[in-house]
Amino acid sequence: MSNATVSAEEVGKFSQLVSRWWDPHGPMRPLHQMNPARIGWIDKLARGATGSPKRVLDIGCGAGLAAEAMARRGHDVLGIDAGNDMVEAARAHAEGKGLTLTYRNCVAEDLVAEGRRFQVVTALEVIEHVPDPAAFVHVIAQLLEPGGLLVLSTVNRTTRAWLMAKIGAEYIFRLLPIGTHDWKTFITPAELGAMMRAAGVRVTQTTGLLPEPLTGSWHTGRDVGVNYMIAGVR
């Protein structure tokens, strides 16, 4: 396990939630609510002008929420995670569904060492939990084919994000377990864009992920003050 790109403490924290990962009313409720919006945005970018499905690597897949959603849209998906119990839960949930979807308990460096390359690489709600974000981006950029698409999602480091994603979500509304996030590890779009460019990835699009309080659903939009996604091409 890489000391720069994977935190054993963070893996352990999320492994404790694995039994309720697929419960839409459980501790992963915010991810369930935002998943249709974020997967819709990623799917459109991934298909591009040709409209064809792609070979996708989902890094830090957890129990498979995003990976399975991408596979349901026709993509050939490999989900990887450093937590073996999460990978086993992901496999169990996908079993018998006829999806082009595989899971593996490993880290990104393992795939780099094997010379693996993918048309699309995603790391969703992951980078704020790694010890060295710049090193993480550098590693995962190596897994892109030339012209490949990289999509990252995370939380902006703003006062509003602290109030909503930390204080509100964890302490007031109890949407997330206390301790899920550390505001100091949040990353601004400018900082993340600079990391991507340093890793040889040209930033192409950024979008906010915004909740709709009355319906519980989410949509994409221009406001990147709290949750956002950023995409780039190598």
Q: What is the pLDDT of residues 160-206, one digit of tens each?
A: 876 766 555 555 445 556 656 676 889 999 999 999 999 999 999 99
* 1 in any annotated domain: no
Query: Residue 207: is its pLDDT beyond 80?
Result: yes
- The band of 214, judged by pLDDT with boundaries at 50, 70 and 90, is confident
Residue 202, marked binder? no
* 226 in any annotated domain: yes
CB contact set of 100 (below 8 Å; sequence gap of 6+): 71, 74, 75, 76, 77
CA distance 69 to 156: 24
* 99 in any annotated domain: yes
Q: What percentage of the chain reaches a pLDDT higher than 90?
A: 78
pTM over 0.85: yes
Residue 38, marked binder? yes
- Tally the domains of the chain: 1
- The band of 4, judged by pLDDT with boundaries at 50, 70 and 90, is confident
* 19 in any annotated domain: yes
* 2 in any annotated domain: no
3-state secondary structure of 50: coil
Q: Which of 146, 154, 147, 145 is nearest to 195 (CA)?
A: 154
Q: Whole domain around residue 122: which residue ranges? A: 8-233
Residue 81, marked binder? yes
CA distance 214 to 230: 26
Residue 60, marked binder? yes
Q: What's 16's domain CATH number?
A: 3.40.50.150
